Chains A and B, each alone.
Chain A
Amino acid sequence: AQSVAQPEDQVNVAEGNPLTVKCTYSVSGNPYLFWYVQYPNRGLQFLLKYITGDNLVKGSYGFEAEFNKSQTSFHLKKPSALVSDSALYFCAVTGAIFNKFYFGSGTKLNVKP
Chain B
Amino acid sequence: EPEVTQTPSHQVTQMGQEVILRCVPISNHLYFYWYRQILGQKVEFLVSFYNNEISEKSEIFDDQFSVERPDGSNFTLKIRSTKLEDSAMYFCASSGQTLNTEAFFGQGTRLTVV
> Which chain A residues have a beta carbon within 8 Å of chain B's beta carbons?
32, 34, 36, 38, 40, 42-46, 49, 51, 88, 90, 94-96, 98-103, 105-106
Distance A99 CA – B45 CA, assembled complex (angstroms) = 11
- Chain B residues whose CB sits within 8 angstroms of the CB of A90 once the complex forms: 43
- B100–A99 CB distance below 8 A: no
A10 to chain B, nearest CB (A): 13
Helix, strand, loop or mixed for chain B's interface? strand
Contacts of A106 in B (CB 8 A): 41-43
* Count of A-B residue pairs with CB < 8 Å: 59
Size class of the B contact interface (CB-based, 8 Å)? 20 to 34
| Dominant secondary structure at the A interface | strand
Q: Which residue of B lies closest to A51 (CB)?
A: B100
B56 & A100 in contact (Cβ 8 Å cutoff): yes
Q: How far is the CA of A49 from the CA of B108 in the complex (A)?
A: 22
